[in-house]
Structure 1
Amino acid sequence: AAGKVVPVIDRRYPLSEVAEALRYFGKGHAKGKVVITLEHNKKKGDKK
């Protein structure tokens, strides 16, 4: 796409694994973005 920047996502980690994500990033292995995702714990009756 002309004129658009498309980020390259190397790895995704859930928030519970942020320490591992930081180790991976800190070692210089990342070839793109390292993304931390938020976990949504559904409760019984939740519709979202």
Structure 2
Amino acid sequence: MPWWRVVRADGSLTQGERQRALLDDEGVPFRGARVDMAVARMPVDLTE
């Protein structure tokens, strides 16, 4: 997983504006300054 896809559990960014731009380019949804985790969260596969 590329570093720019790693965000905090609350959707806040770890790397600031550069990270925001990369995520925007990928179409990641934001709510204000945070990734909208209700929409963007990857499902957890507990069988692995």
The normalised TM-score by structure 2 is 0.29
> Structure with the greater relative contact order (CA < 8 A, sep ≥ 6): 1 or 2?
1
Higher strand content, 1 or 2: 1
Larger Rg: 1
Higher helix content, 1 or 2: 2
